[in-house]
């Protein structure tokens, strides 16, 4: 799904991930803004990958639960999702993400997410 959205990893550090995705015509909602599904998807992925950076190489993660607050319409050219680990763990990782929409170099916070990732064997 991330390749369909044109999403790419733009910053990878331990406990921190940044994903960018253009707001493509295929991801617009009826009023012409980026769809909440795009916002949620890249936020969830950024949070999950942030958790993954804190785990051994033979582990993966799955989302157990994640909440999103949509704060503003996704107006712009690209979305930037920044995921971070709040509390790492062997059984549960608490994570968060912020999603910004960028247009003409100006970023606007459009969503915040918080959730729990479960480490699983790869």
Residue 62 confidence (pLDDT): 98
What is the rounded average pLDDT of the residues 16-23?
Answer: 98
Residue 56 confidence (pLDDT): 95
Residue 11 confidence (pLDDT): 95
The answer to whether the beta carbons of residues 62 and 117 sit under 8 Å apart is yes
Q: How are beta strands 93-103 and 106-121 bridged, if at all? A: antiparallel
Residue 97 confidence (pLDDT): 98
Using one digit for the tens of pLDDT, what is the confidence trace for 22-77? 999 999 999 999 999 999 999 999 999 999 999 999 999 999 999 999 999 999 99
Residue 65 confidence (pLDDT): 98
What is the rounded average pLDDT of the residues 75-88?
Answer: 97
Residue 27 confidence (pLDDT): 95
What is the rounded average pLDDT of the residues 102-122?
Answer: 97
Q: In the numeric block, which tokens belong to residue 94?
A: 């608490």
The answer to whether the beta carbons of residues 70 and 12 sit under 8 Å apart is no
The answer to whether the beta carbons of residues 21 and 7 sit under 8 Å apart is yes
């Amino acid at each position: 799904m991330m390749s369909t959205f044109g999403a790419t990893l733009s910053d990878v550090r331990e406990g921190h991930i940044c994903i960018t995705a253009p707001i493509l015509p295929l991801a617009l909602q009826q009023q012409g803004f980026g769809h909440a599904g795009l916002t949620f998807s890249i936020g969830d992925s950024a949070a999950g990958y942030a958790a993954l950076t804190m785990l051994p190489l033979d582990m993966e993660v799955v989302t157990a639960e994640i909440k999103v607050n949509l704060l503003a319409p996704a107006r712009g050219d690209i979305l930037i999702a920044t995921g971070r680990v709040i509390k790492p763990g062997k059984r549960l990782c608490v994570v968060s993400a912020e999603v910004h929409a960028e247009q003409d170099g100006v970023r606007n916070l459009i969503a915040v997410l918080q959730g729990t990732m479960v480490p699983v064997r790869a």
